[in-house]
Structure 1
Amino acid sequence: MCDGGNAAPVYKIVNENFPGSNITTIQRHYFNDHNGLDFIKRLVIEENNSVVMAVKSKYYCLAAASALIKYVEFIENMVYAQESLRVVFQGGERTTMIDAGTSSILELVVNLENLKSSHSLFSVLNRTKTPGGTRLLRSNILQPLNDRETIQARLDCVEELTDSSEFFYGLQSALERFEIDIDHLIASLVQIAKQDTDKIRERRINTAILLKHVTDTVPALCESLSEGKCDLFQAYSASLKDARFCSVSDLLSNILNENCRYTKGLLNMRYQRCFAVKPGISAVLDMSRRVYSEMIEDIGELIEQLNGKYDLPLKSCHSSSRGFHVQMLTKDAPSKLPEDFIQISKTRKTLSFTTQELKTINGNIILQIKDINMITDAMIKHLNASVRSNIGCLYNLSEIVSTLDMLLSFAHYRTTTECVRPEFTDTLAIKNGRHPVLDNGRRCYVPSNVYAAEGKNFNIVTGPNMSGKTTYLKMIAQLQVMAQMGCFVPAEFASFRVASQIFSRVGSNDDMETNSSTFMVEMKEVNYIIQNVTDTSVVIIDELGRGTSSEEGVGLCWAISEFLLSEKAFTFFATHFIELCRMESIYPNIENYHFEIKHVTCNQGRFRTVQFTYALSRGFTREVHYGLDLAEMFDLPPSLIQKAHVIADEIDKRTGEADASVTDEQKANNAAYKFATRLLQVSRSSRLDDVALVEYVRG
């Protein structure tokens, strides 16, 4: 990222494509593929060491890994333990590519207008209970699967979870106990600090306590999974019966107290650390803990003495900054506090202070805690080192918990929404599909149909502004993402072709940061689509060519449409250029659709308004000057609207309508093409037997 103090070209590229990102530069010599391969060989756990064969020739992968590991070790001031990391090499062959611009436009993770808004696909689906499940859901939305077998396995699980409420709630109850972040726990376990400090010792002891909490919850999860019938549930149940879980549990039970557990709260967790190790293992540790307990009792006795001496309702409190101190309600405080009370702080409801004797006890407690942590940490170090030899099972547990949590979210969505299990064929067909975000709690949403196949792979959508074109395009892409995640979709019927890429060109705004005009932004985005589109891509384009003149815009849209037609990608093209609709008579794999509107006359025929139906129909829109009709809704001066109509009519007369001439031969060829593609589709996807299929074709 940085060479000799100067930003490398890759830095500029990343900064242009991901503006606002926090980028840290690293000097070029840290990007060393040989060091990266050595790191992987040294750090990868034994059961994943085959990854070395997959990455040994990946220069950029190894160089980036080398720089990343060195950076993390430098920032965290630690080194990773040998054979402690699960290293996996994953290319894009099993996931669908969605670029950053498309994910933003589709509002997959965050809302475009309000980053804190819940109007995004992630917010609609997110009912996860664990941090790992939340991260996995987000990554699956941004990179959905394109492996049919895995998708079907997930759909089977979601269907079983929703069909059996007892299984659903039992599994959910077991997962709720995994409230800690297993990935962070593993990271703490494998990182070895270069220098021990009080915080490092506390973190190591916390890691052991959290590890005990996790291993104690595995049997309950395994028992819940045993009730599942799907292959994925059975595979996860078998994985949780790994003997290494018992080995880790035995190692922990030999050292840690049986009642030691993870608790919330600073003081509670400190108490757990003090008494984490079993009594009787170290006489010095037992003595230190006895002294600590006596100090805590002394604080209670001191508060009681102060209560009796000054006849005040005092109580002891604890905070990270002040330690133990005295607190009382402001309304119960006398006009003048005793001189023994020092370091007084006042809030609206409470009064906090301490005494010199209490400060002395606090200081002694801190010293005693350090002694206890040092003795405990000496034992925990050896314990953690022994656990690392079985760390592979913890990586598997993290993956299982995260995936189950995400599947439970999908099941929750299915039970609270009218949706259907998607099918996967070579056709994109949706009956009465609904936008998953806008449909959330809205009864007035108008559903729409979607159809695209090999013989009808290009749909042109027209209609007035605000008629629903952009929402329709976003709905198609979001439903495609949901289906490939393994989630049910809001529709009466849904069939999808697995997409390798999802592209979008929606919206028209200047980019001030890169000094790009609206038209330049459009051309950059379209060029990216043209260079990367494949036969299995899904492309949505909205309002292309509006950043230049109408003649140039129509010409560009026509040429770009012809290119996309040749690629066989499923393309949905929303436009105001009615001239493009003439392509349907030339190319047999183009279909025209439009959103209908109604003109309503009120007040005895003096005013005419536009009523949006949001209903999609075949053919292109027949509305003329609908932009002027829409302008009337905003109370512009009537004289201005009338003048605009006159000018528009004059332009129409001059331009005329140059309809494309279509010969009878072209019409016959188009009809033959449509019939042939329909036959191919029926032969590939039909579930009818041969006799019924022949009757269907004849009919």
Structure 2
Amino acid sequence: MLRPESSPASLPVPGDSSLSVEVRPQVPRCSLGLQETPQSGPSAQAASVSSRPDTSGAAGDRSSSSSCPRAPSALPAQGSYCKSKRSYAENTFASDFTLGTSSSSARGSTCPQMVKTPLSAGNHQRSGYKSWTPQMEYSATSSSAVSAHSPSVVVAVVEGRGLARGEIGMASIDLKSPQIILSQFADNTTYAKVITKLKILSPLEIIMSNTACVVGNSTKLFTLITENFKNVNFTTIQRKYFNETKGLEYIEQLCTAEFSTVLMEVQSKYYCLAAVAALLKYIEFIQNSLYAPKSLKICFQGSEQTAMIDSSSAQNLELLINNQDSIARFLDTEQLLSVLVQIPKQDTVNAAESKITNLIYLKHTLELVDPLKITLKNCNTPLFRAYYGSLEDKRFGIILDKIKTVINDDARYMKGCLNMRTQKCYAVRSNINEFLDIARRTYTEIVDDIAGMISQLAEKYSLPLRTSFSSARGFFIQMTTDCTALFNDKLPSEFIKISKVKNSYSFTSTDLIKMNERCQESLREIYHMTYMIVCKLLSEIYEHIHCLYKLSDTVSMLDMLLSFAHACTLSDYVRPEFTDTLAIKQGWHPILEKISVEKPVANNTYITEGSNFVIITGPNMSGKSTYLKQIALCQIMAQIGSYVPAEYSSFRIAEQIFTRISTDDDIETNSSTFMKEMKEIAYILHNANDKSLILIDELGRGTNTEEGIGICYAVCEYLLSLKAFTLFATHFLELCHIDVLYPNVENMYFEVQHVKNTSRNKEAILYTYKLSKGLTEEKNYGLKAAEASSLPPSIVLDAKEITTQITRQILQNQRSTPEMERQRAVYHLATRLVQTARNSQLDPDSLRTYLSNLKRKYEADFPRAEQVSGKTEE
């Protein structure tokens, strides 16, 4: 019989027949293929500290002969693999843990408040150990115990020491998916890559070595992580568990055969191996279980050949909200696989129900493989042919055939808790287990009795009663509130637990409650016997189940490609080219197109190595910020393989994309608008290079005008020296004259039109959202806005006079010289010639014509220089 969730059980401890341990339901459950295995004291002895001098916290145990505990190749009988970990986990491992919290009481200190666990103080009640990692409960209504939107990633981070400082090793596991991601990369003193990667993972908990957070001497990495992840829980463990040797053994033992090539990638990457050793040891301790052999997908993700988008830019561009639904009727195969490979520690009702549900989900998923193959069969592209080949894996058919020998053909995934409950009850074919058939007949009779009882009550009281069902209440009675048969709008006294929701009453009766209890008892019997059959079936198909990893990857990639296909077929998108130039002809904002009633105004963009810095001016609401976001989104779309919203597009591959757009205050870090601006711009200056794309919107507006202009001018000069592609939107018109000193600066502005309002005898600004080359002709648009408001006319007039005087003085000091104009003309000619030599695909006649046009343009620039010279002499 299955035990209810609340029932404790005494489990025997191997090797000691006189000792038993009470296991309560609050003990963390195993998950993701975890499997409990007996451990003896000697096999669980702690590893010694490695002598490797450059391993931070990552101390390998090279001299120890012990290895990580190995799970048995075959599943043991029930009860034989469950034991207390008192001798191992509580006496040796629990005392090595320290929990960190970023509570307000700890924010003033150098590192978060560290709390010793009760276990380390001598309390050996495991239920007293507090973990931030969620206990994996088994849900009867979903394939995952953890909400799809709640954080479920645990990350271990370790840094090299001495000469290896800055070399980072990371290992992460999603509790909703049996997959471990390893990373190792070199970072600079800002640890930008670490912070960005952690932001992407959005971890529930971060694990680090206790040597990284010594009070008063914590490492810079630990300090930065705690500052940037104030709402994430930290756990520190002794550095001896960051053991690269153990990490490699873990990978050899647990990695499924399809992904075993990861061993070749990580054999010499000591830091990610050390991180995975600590991560898995910690998960084993928290979940009180071990992973089944060859059950995990383990992959390595480096930072090479990737474009880095920092967390602020991702938030500014709204990149973090995503749709993870797979194609059509496919369920989440990763969560499905996660539950199928795990071995529950107790045979509870919920665990049984979850297994049955997920086996039905698996059958439903595998039945969709053939329709997907038919869809891909006639595709000729190599990518789709590769996906078609992965779907031809014979193991899909083997698993489905074995399932169909036990599971009814009409058992399938259905919406509605009562429908799914019925599917689970009758999932197993008849005549496989006589007692199961009897139990199901009993259940059917009880359900029929409930329906008959409610019909009798309806006849007895002449009320339009109907039978309803919910997972929380079971069967209950409902009736509309507008029933005329009610006497004084009161229900009969036989009905209890009455509630009114909108236009209906919900209630039950004493007899119905008893019938529900009988129904639940019958269900427990059914689930228990079905669970035994399902477990036997899973043991037969377990060796083939890893093909679902390929199915998960295939469905996810097809889902993404389907989104790309929709984008380019339903909209006028164009395939981008990749050169050393950023050129977009008539491009528009892809999101604005979807939410706007009218099609967005299209604009051109042209940035080259010779003109790599664009200053954009224009009034408020003229479209500057939207234009910057448009450029960033188009760049990202091109680099992920999507078509781009434009008539023509060419992009230079960006190694990093930086934006400085948001202007909100940050109350949590006590940062004003200006301070937040300075932090973000400092981050950009420290990490940008010549292959970066930088977009800055209205820098310096959080302080006074003089200081704002000074800061902007200095930042512009620094970015100009980097040769990065930069778009700089500003209200400081004085910055536009920097092109006198730097010929690679281009000035652009957003046009506006003035419309006369005859009724009020005032001018109104009409925004065209068109980008044009040159300096904005719109002067003092702030004064015009003030004039349109209710400010007294005398104040507006004084403001105009003062502004005119200041502008005149500034312009006198910023006039161009003839020599500067000549140098600018030569510079632009030279850069265009270099660009032509690199990228030209023109035929000889067309090339000759283009070069002639360049010559005429160059010659036309000299009369302008002479005109400047004449004005200067006057």
The TM-score normalised by the length of structure 1 is 0.84
- What is the rounded CA distance, in whole Å, between the counterparts of 2:675 and 2:238 in structure 1? 37
- What is the rounded CA distance, in whole Å, between the counterparts of 1:553 and 1:602 in structure 2? 35
> What do residues 86-145 of structure 1 show as CA deviations (whole Å, max 9, x unaligned)?
1111123243211111122223346xxxxxxxxxxx6xxx6xxxx444xxxxxxxxxxxx
Q: Is the 8 A contact 2:709 2:734 kept in 1?
A: yes
Q: Report what 1:158 is aligned to.
A: none
Cα pair distance change 1:333/1:671, threshold 3 Å: same
1:527 Cα deviation (Å)? Answer: 1.7
1:261 Cα deviation (Å)? Answer: 1.1
- What is the rounded CA distance, in whole Å, between the counterparts of 1:39 and 1:535 in structure 2? 41
Cα pair distance change 1:517/1:392, threshold 3 Å: same
User: Does 2:453 align with 1:302?
Assistant: yes
Aligned-partner residue type, residue 505 of structure 1: R
Question: Which runs of structure 2 are paired with 1:121-520 in the superposition (5 Å)?
Answer: 131-133=324-326, 175-178=327-330, 180-330=331-481, 331=483, 333-335=485-487, 337-338=491-492, 340-440=494-594, 441-443=596-598, 445-520=600-675
Q: Is the 8 A contact 2:756 2:764 kept in 1?
A: yes
Q: Report what 2:806 is aligned to.
A: 651
Q: Is the 8 A contact 1:45 1:86 kept in 2?
A: yes
1:455 Cα deviation (Å)? Answer: 1.6
Cα pair distance change 1:603/1:314, threshold 3 Å: closer
- What is the rounded CA distance, in whole Å, between the counterparts of 1:552 and 1:689 in structure 2? 52
> What do residues 69-88 of structure 1 show as CA deviations (whole Å, max 9, x unaligned)?
45656666654322112111
Cα pair distance change 1:216/1:600, threshold 3 Å: closer
Q: Which has the higher contact order (CA 8 A, sep 6+)?
A: 1
Q: Report what 2:10 is aligned to.
A: none
Aligned-partner residue type, residue 237 of structure 2: R
What is the DSSP-based 3-state SS (H/G/I as helix, E as strand, rest coil) of the residue aligned with 1:318?
strand
**Residue in structure 2 matching 1:83, options 290, 294, 319:** 294
1:656 Cα deviation (Å)? Answer: 5.0
- What is the rounded CA distance, in whole Å, between the counterparts of 2:793 and 2:668 in structure 1? 40
- What is the rounded CA distance, in whole Å, between the counterparts of 2:846 and 2:742 in structure 1? 31
1:62 Cα deviation (Å)? Answer: 4.0
User: Does 2:24 align with 1:24?
Assistant: no
1:372 Cα deviation (Å)? Answer: 1.4
Runs of at least 5 residues in structure 1 that lack an aligned partner in the other structure: 111-121, 134-174
Q: Is the 8 A contact 1:469 1:574 kept in 2?
A: yes
What is the DSSP-based 3-state SS (H/G/I as helix, E as strand, rest coil) of the residue aligned with 2:633?
helix
More helix by share: 1
Cα pair distance change 1:312/1:461, threshold 3 Å: closer
- What is the rounded CA distance, in whole Å, between the counterparts of 2:565 and 2:753 in structure 1? 40
Cα pair distance change 1:15/1:132, threshold 3 Å: farther
**Residue in structure 2 matching 1:608, options 763, 783, 803:** 763
Aligned-partner residue type, residue 276 of structure 1: A
1:307 Cα deviation (Å)? Answer: 4.1
- What is the rounded CA distance, in whole Å, between the counterparts of 2:588 and 2:658 in structure 1? 20
Q: Percent identity?
A: 46
Cα pair distance change 1:339/1:598, threshold 3 Å: closer
What is the DSSP-based 3-state SS (H/G/I as helix, E as strand, rest coil) of the residue aligned with 1:26?
strand
Q: Report what 1:534 is aligned to.
A: 689
1:421 Cα deviation (Å)? Answer: 2.1
Q: Is the 8 A contact 1:105 1:506 kept in 2?
A: yes
Bigger shift: residues 1-10 or 294-303: 1-10
- What is the rounded CA distance, in whole Å, between the counterparts of 1:270 and 1:339 in structure 2? 31
- What is the rounded CA distance, in whole Å, between the counterparts of 1:638 and 1:398 in structure 2? 68
User: Does 2:153 align with 1:43?
Assistant: no
Cα pair distance change 1:315/1:517, threshold 3 Å: closer
Question: Which runs of structure 2 are paired with 1:660-671 in the superposition (5 Å)?
Answer: 661-662=816-817, 664=819, 666-671=820-825
Aligned length: 636
Aligned-partner residue type, residue 574 of structure 2: V
Aligned-partner residue type, residue 115 of structure 2: G
Bigger shift: residues 445-454 or 597-606: 597-606
Cα pair distance change 1:204/1:638, threshold 3 Å: same
1:489 Cα deviation (Å)? Answer: 2.1
Q: Report what 1:170 is aligned to.
A: none
> What do residues 483-537 of structure 1 show as CA deviations (whole Å, max 9, x unaligned)?
2222222222111112111101224444332233333322221221122112221
- What is the rounded CA distance, in whole Å, between the counterparts of 2:580 and 2:368 in structure 1? 44
Cα pair distance change 1:633/1:227, threshold 3 Å: farther
Cα pair distance change 1:323/1:439, threshold 3 Å: closer
Q: Is the 8 A contact 1:610 1:629 kept in 2?
A: no
- What is the rounded CA distance, in whole Å, between the counterparts of 2:455 and 2:525 in structure 1? 28
What is the DSSP-based 3-state SS (H/G/I as helix, E as strand, rest coil) of the residue aligned with 2:752?
strand
- What is the rounded CA distance, in whole Å, between the counterparts of 2:593 and 2:501 in structure 1? 46
Bigger shift: residues 213-222 or 505-514: 505-514
Bigger shift: residues 1-10 or 565-574: 1-10
- What is the rounded CA distance, in whole Å, between the counterparts of 2:640 and 2:737 in structure 1? 37
Q: Is the 8 A contact 1:596 1:613 kept in 2?
A: yes
What is the DSSP-based 3-state SS (H/G/I as helix, E as strand, rest coil) of the residue aligned with 1:88?
strand
Q: Report what 2:131 is aligned to.
A: none
Question: Which runs of structure 2 are paired with 1:569-580 in the superposition (5 Å)?
Answer: 569-580=724-735
1:205 Cα deviation (Å)? Answer: 1.0
Question: Which runs of structure 2 are paired with 1:554-565 in the superposition (5 Å)?
Answer: 554-565=709-720
Q: Report what 2:52 is aligned to.
A: none
Q: Report what 1:145 is aligned to.
A: none
Q: Is the 8 A contact 2:418 2:469 kept in 1?
A: yes
User: Does 2:583 align with 1:583?
Assistant: no
- What is the rounded CA distance, in whole Å, between the counterparts of 1:83 and 1:523 in structure 2? 49
Q: Is the 8 A contact 2:243 2:278 kept in 1?
A: no
Q: Report what 2:865 is aligned to.
A: none
1:659 Cα deviation (Å)? Answer: 1.9
> What do residues 576-616 of structure 1 show as CA deviations (whole Å, max 9, x unaligned)?
33333233233232211122233444449953343333222
- What is the rounded CA distance, in whole Å, between the counterparts of 1:697 and 1:519 in structure 2? 48
> What do residues 401-439 of structure 1 show as CA deviations (whole Å, max 9, x unaligned)?
122222222322333333222222221111111122223
1:678 Cα deviation (Å)? Answer: 1.6
1:332 Cα deviation (Å)? Answer: 5.1
- What is the rounded CA distance, in whole Å, between the counterparts of 2:506 and 2:485 in structure 1? 11
1:374 Cα deviation (Å)? Answer: 1.2
- What is the rounded CA distance, in whole Å, between the counterparts of 2:519 and 2:848 in structure 1? 88
- What is the rounded CA distance, in whole Å, between the counterparts of 2:760 and 2:512 in structure 1? 86
Q: Report what 1:693 is aligned to.
A: 847
Aligned-partner residue type, residue 536 of structure 2: H
Cα pair distance change 1:75/1:358, threshold 3 Å: farther
Cα pair distance change 1:476/1:346, threshold 3 Å: closer
- Please provide the CA RMSD for this pair: 2.8
1:448 Cα deviation (Å)? Answer: 1.2
What is the DSSP-based 3-state SS (H/G/I as helix, E as strand, rest coil) of the residue aligned with 2:591?
coil
- What is the rounded CA distance, in whole Å, between the counterparts of 2:522 and 2:418 in structure 1? 15
User: Does 2:157 align with 1:5?
Assistant: no
What is the DSSP-based 3-state SS (H/G/I as helix, E as strand, rest coil) of the residue aligned with 2:544?
coil
User: Does 2:316 align with 1:105?
Assistant: yes
- What is the rounded CA distance, in whole Å, between the counterparts of 1:305 and 1:605 in structure 2? 77
The TM-score normalised by the length of structure 2 is 0.68
Q: Report what 1:162 is aligned to.
A: none
What is the DSSP-based 3-state SS (H/G/I as helix, E as strand, rest coil) of the residue aligned with 1:87?
strand
Q: Is the 8 A contact 1:132 1:398 kept in 2?
A: no
What is the DSSP-based 3-state SS (H/G/I as helix, E as strand, rest coil) of the residue aligned with 1:27?
strand
What is the DSSP-based 3-state SS (H/G/I as helix, E as strand, rest coil) of the residue aligned with 2:812?
coil
User: Does 2:776 align with 1:637?
Assistant: no
1:449 Cα deviation (Å)? Answer: 0.8
